[in-house]
Structure 1
Amino acid sequence: MTDMKKTLTLGQVVLFGLAYMTPIIVLGTFGVLAVTTEGAVSGAYVAALVAMLFTAHSYGRMASAFPVAGSAYTYVRKSIDARLGFMAGWAILLDYLFLPMVIWLIGAAYLHSAFPAIPVAVWLLAFIAVTTLINVIGLKLASAVNSVMMLVQILVLTAFVGLAMHYVLGDPAQPFWSLTPFLGANEGFPLPQLMAGAAVACYSFLGFDAVTTLTEETHEPKRTLPRAILLITLCGGLIFIVVSYFVQLAAPGHDFANPDAAAYEIARNIGGDIFVSLFLIGLVVGQFASGIAAQASGSRLLYAMGRDEVLPKRLLGQLGRFGTPVGGLLLSAAVALLALTLDVLSAASFINFGAFLAFALVNTSVIAHYYLRERRRGGLDTLWFLVCPLIGLGAILWLMASLDAKAIVLGGAWLACGALWLTWLTRGFQRPTPELSIEN
C-alpha cells in the first residue's frame, strides 16, 4: 500500500471545510434563531463565532500535536485518559447518529410550508426512505452531486442576500445599517436570549474540524491544518453573520407563521413566487444531499465500531449485499423517527449537546498536553496553551448551559448510556478501555 500524495494546499483545505459545513444552513435555521433571540440572529452568530474561534484554536493545536484521524476522541485519549476519550467518542457518535435526523427534519419543515396539505411526517418518512435506499445501494449519486450542490448553495445564498438588500433599500422607513439584528427588536441587550440563540447557532459550525481527516493528503499538515481550521471557522462565521444581517433587516422581529421554515416565508416576500420556488428547490436538494453524506458517514462509524466489537458486531459489524453497512444505515433511519416528536430547535440543540461536550474536552486537552505534560509555560505559551483554551472551555460550557432544556435532558441520558456501556465493556473497569475506530 502506497502513501497518499500530499497535494492539498491551504486554500483547497479551506474550501473543503466550508463545503462540509453547508453554508445554506443559515437560512434553514433562521426562523428558530429569530424566535429564540427575539430578532437578534446576527448577534447570536457573533457570540457563536467568538466561542468557536477559541475552540478552533484548540483543535488546530491538537491537530498539530496528533496529526491523525479521530479528532476529539484521539486528542482526549492521547492527552488525558482513555476512559474520558471513550466518552468523547461517545459524544461524537451522538452527532453522527442524530445529525441526519435534524437535516431531514429541516427539509421536511420547508416542504410542508410549500405543500401544507401534506403533513411533515410524510415528508420526513420520504426523506428517510429514499436516502436510506440510496445509501444501501451505494454513494455514487452523492459523489456526483456534491460539487454541484455547493455551487447551488452559493448561488441561492447570493440571490437571497441580493434580494434582501433590494427589499430593504426599497423601504424608506428601514435603515440599511442597524444594530437591531445584533441586539434584537426590543430595547436593551437580551444576553440570555442571545446566548440561547448562540447555543443553537453553533449547529451551523458543525464540521469545521472535518479537515483533520485530510492530514495525509495536505502539504505541511502540522502548519496548514491549524491555519485552515481557524480560516474555515472565521469564513463560515462571517458568511452566517452577513447573510443573517440582511435577512433580519428584510424580516425584522420574530413573528413567523412557521419558525421552522421562516426563510420560505421571507423568500416569498422579497422575491415572489418564482424565487421562492427556486429557493425551496435549492434548500431541499441541499438538505437531501447533505442527509446522504451524514447518514453514510454515521453508518460507517457504526460499522467500524461494530467490527471492533465496541458495539454489537452481529447487528452493526457486517456489510450487506452491496458492500454497504446496512445495519448502521437502518439504525440511523430508525433513530430519525424520533424527529416525529421533535421540532427543529430541540433536535438541533440535542445535536449541539454532543458537539459541545467534544469541544469542551478538546479545549481541556490543550491544557493537559501542552501546559501540564510538556510544561510549555514561558512567554506566549501561557496565553496559547492555558488562557485561550480556558476561555474556549468557559464559552462552551456557557453555551451548553443555554441549550434547550429537553436537549440537556436527552444529552444527559445519552452520556449516562455511554458510561453504563463503558462500564459493561470493561467489566467494571477491570479490563482496558476499548479503542474506537473513529475515522470521521
Structure 2
Amino acid sequence: MTGPRQGDNSVKNSDDAPTPRLRRALGPGALLLFGLTYLAPVTVFTTYGIVTASTDNHLPAAYIVALVAMLFTAVSYGFMSRAFPSAGSAYTYTQRSFGRHVGFLTGWTLMLDYLFLPMINFLLIGIYLNTQFPAIPGWVFALAALLLVLLFNVLGIALVAKLNVAIVALSVLLVVVFVALGIKELLSNPSAETPGLLAPLLPGSGGLGVIFSGAAVLALSFLGFDAVSTLSEEAKNPRRDIPRAIVLTTLIGGALFIVVSWIGALVAPDYQAFVDLDSAGVDLMAKVGGTLLTSFFVAVYVVGAFGSGLTTQVSVSRIIYSMARDGVFPRFFARLHKRFRTPLGAAIAVSTVSLLALFITLDVAASMISFGALVAFSMVNLSVIRHHLFPKGGRAEAATARDWVVYGIVPLVGFGLTVWLWTSLTQTTFIVGLSWMAVGIVYLAVLTRGFRRQPPALSFTDVVDDRATADPR
C-alpha cells in the first residue's frame, strides 16, 4: 500500500515533485470492519474437530486462553502502530527495534506462514468437497484447485477477489443461522449427553495442559487482527484509531469464536461421533440444520477457500519475485511470463510447496502456521519493551513507573503467554519450524558474509494487503 490511488492527496518534496500520499479516509468503524473481515467468521470450523478432540470437548476453554494471549499481543501491536504509524508488520517492528538481522529472521519465519496459507486452503477444499462426493478422493479436489490457482496466477486474473464481500456476508449469515439453530436444538431436543452450560468453558480432566495445546493451534484463527496496522497511512487518526481497532477486532472476533464453539460443544458433545475430525463442521451443520444447511456451509466454505488460496498465492508469489529481483533469492524466482508479465518462477515455486497439501494432515498444516504466527507475536511483544524502555541510543529521560507497567509488564505477559502457547505445539511442528529457522540463519550468514554486512530489508506489506478477506482458515 505504498503506491498512489485515485483521489490520493499529494505533497511536494524539496524538488517540487509531487509525492503521492494515500488518502486518510478510514474512521474507527471502517477499520474495525476491515479487521473483522480478515478474521473470517467461519475460521472457527477449520480446526474445530482436531482441537475439540485434543481438549476433550473443551474447545471454548481453549479459545478463551487463546483470546487472552492474543489480547496482550494486540495491545503490543497497538503500541507499535502508534510508534510507527506508517508501518505495519511484525517484521517491520522487529527490524526497527532490534535491527535488520533479527528482523530478517522474523520475516523469514513469517515466510513459513505465507507459504503454508495457500496450501492449507487447497487441503480444506479437498477435505470438504470429499464429504459431498465421497467417491472422489480429497487429494483430487486439492490438486485441481492448486492447478487452477496456478493458472489464474500466471494469467494475472483475480476474479474471486470481487466476490470477497459476498463471501464474507454469507459467512456471517452462516454463523448466525448456526447459532440460532443450535440454540433451538438445545431447547427443543434436550439430551442426557449435553454437558452443563459451563462445562465446555472450563478445563476438564486433562487440566490446563491440553487446553494450552489446543490454544496454540487456535493462534491460526487470529491471523489477520494485525492486518489493521497496514492501514495506518489511510486512517484519519492512526495513532488513536489503529490501536483501538486492533484490540476491538481481537476481542470481538475471539468472542464470536467462543460463542460458536460453545454452542457446538453443547449441541454435539460426543466428538467421537464425527465422521472425520478434519470436516467436523459438516457434522455440526447436519446436526442442527440437516442437508440443506450442510450443502450451504460446504459451498460457502469451498468458495472462500478457493478465493483465499488464489489471493494468498498471488501475494506470496509477488513477494518472492521482489526478493529474487533484489538478489535475496535466486534469479529463477524473478522470471516473468513472456506474454502475461506475471511472476512465473515464483508462482511455480509456491505451487510446488503447496503440493504438500496432497500428503500433509490438517493438524500439522495448522500447527505450522501457528508456529510462525506465535514467533512473530512473541517478537512484537519484545519489540515494545525494547523500543519504549531500551531504545537505540538510549532514552532521553528516565522511564516512569507507568512506563514500566504499560511498556514493560503488559508486553512481557503477552510474550510469556505466546511462548507458552508456542511450546505447547507438537514435536513435529517444532522439528519443521526450527529446521526452517536454522535454514534462515545459514542463509542470512551467506547473504551477510558471516554477519559482517547488513541483510537486505524485506517488505511483507503486499502479502498482508492482498491476502483474501474471505480467508476461511
* Shorter-chain TM-score tier: over 0.9
Tell me what 1:203 maps to. Answer: 220
The one-character-per-residue Cα deviations of 1:197-244 (angstroms, maximum 9, x if unpaired) are 100111000011112221111111121111111111111101100111
The answer to whether residue 197 in structure 2 is matched with residue 178 in structure 1 is yes
Structure 1 residues 158, 376: closer, same or farther in 2, change over 3 A?
A: farther
Out of 368, 381, 385, the residue aligned to residue 407 of structure 2 is 385
Residue 182 of structure 1 and its aligned partner are, at CA, apart by 1.8
Report the CA distance between 1:172 and its aligned residue: 2.7
Q: Match of 1:246?
A: 263
Pairs aligned (count): 438
Match of 1:231? 248
Aligned-residue offset at 1:70: 4.9
In the TM superposition, residue 437 of structure 1 has moved relative to its aligned partner by 2.6
CA distance in 2, matches of 1:376, 1:399: 33
Task: Report whether the alignment pairs 1:371 with 2:371.
Answer: no
Which residue is equivalent to 2:308?
290
**Is the CA contact (8 Å cut-off) linking 2:88 and 2:227 kept in structure 1?**
no
**For residue 402 of structure 1, what is the aligned residue in structure 2?**
424
SS of 1:209's partner is: helix
2:181 matched residue in structure 1? 163
Distance of aligned partners of 1:189 and 1:36 in 2 relative to their CA distance in 1, 3 Å threshold: closer
Q: Select the residue among 247, 271, 274 that pairs with 2:292.
A: 274
Q: How does 1:4-403 map to 2 (within 5 A)?
A: 4-173=22-191, 178-183=197-202, 188=205, 190-255=207-272, 256-316=274-334, 318=336, 321-373=339-391, 374=395, 377-403=399-425
User: In the alignment, is the contact (CA less than 8 A) between 1:38 and 1:253 conserved in 2?
Assistant: no
**Pair 78,135 (structure 1): closer, same or farther in 2 beyond 3 Å:** same
User: d(CA) in 2 for partners of 1:250 and 1:86?
Assistant: 46
Indicate conservation of the 8 Å contact 1:304/1:317, yes or no: no
* CA distance in structure 2 between the aligned counterparts of 1:159 and 1:343, rounded to whole angstroms: 29
Structure 1 distance, partners of 2:364, 2:114, is 17
* Offset, 1:262: 0.7
- CA deviation digits over 1:154-201, x for unaligned, max 9? 0111111111111111223366961222236xx536211101110011
Using the alignment, how far apart are the partners of 2:308 and 2:398 within structure 1?
Answer: 41
User: Retained in 1: the 8 A contact 2:25–2:235?
Assistant: yes
Cα distance between partner residues in 1 of 2:155 and 2:234 = 28
Asked if 1 retains the 8 angstrom alpha-carbon contact of 2:218 and 2:370, the reply is no
Deviates more, 1:314-323 or 1:21-30: 314-323
Name stretches of at least 5 consecutive residues in structure 2 with no aligned partner. Answer: 1-18, 465-473
Contact 2:158 2:311 in 1 (8 A): no
> What is the aligned-residue identity percentage?
42
Residue 467 of structure 2 aligns with which residue? none
CA contact (8 A) 1:98 1:332 kept: no
Alpha carbons of 1:292 and 1:222: their partners in 2 closer, same or farther (altered >3 Å)?
Answer: same
Matching residue's letter, 1:389? P
Q: Over aligned residue pairs, what C-alpha RMSD do you find? A: 1.7
CA contact (8 A) 1:310 1:436 kept: no
Distance 1:317 1:416, change over 3 A: farther
Structure 1, residues 6-65: CA drift from partner, whole Å, max 9, x if none? 001111111111111222110122111111111011011100000000011111111111
Of 43-52 and 24-33, more deviation after overlay is shown by 24-33
- Structure 1: give runs of 5+ residues left out of the alignment: none
SS in 1 for 2:271: coil
Determine if the alignment matches structure 1 residue 433 to structure 2 residue 455. yes
Please report the TM-score for the alignment, with normalisation by the length of structure 1. 0.95
Structure 1 position 350, deviation (Å): 0.6
Cα deviation digits, residues 368-421 of structure 1 (max 9, x gap):
010122466314221110001110111011101111221111001110110011
Cα pair 1:149 1:289 within 8 Å, conserved: no
Question: What corresponds to 2:437 in structure 1?
Answer: 415
Contact 1:80/1:365 (CA < 8 Å) preserved in 2?
Answer: yes
**Alignment-mate amino acid for residue 76 of structure 1:** T
Is the CA contact 2:81–2:88 (under 8 Å) kept in the aligned structure 1? no
- CA–CA distance in structure 2, aligned partners of residues 61 and 325 of structure 1: 36
Distance 1:92 1:322 in 2: 29
Supply the AA of the counterpart residue of 2:163.
Answer: V
What is the rounded CA distance, in whole Å, between the counterparts of 2:251 and 2:190 in structure 1?
33
**TM-score normalised by length of structure 2:** 0.89
SS at match of 1:2: strand
C-alpha distance in 2 between matches for 1:296 and 1:386: 38
CA distance in 1, matches of 2:112, 2:173: 32
3-state SS in 1 of match to 2:65: helix
| Separation of aligned partners in 2, 1:330 and 1:45 | 36
* Aligned counterparts of 1:428 and 1:319: Cα–Cα separation in 2: 35
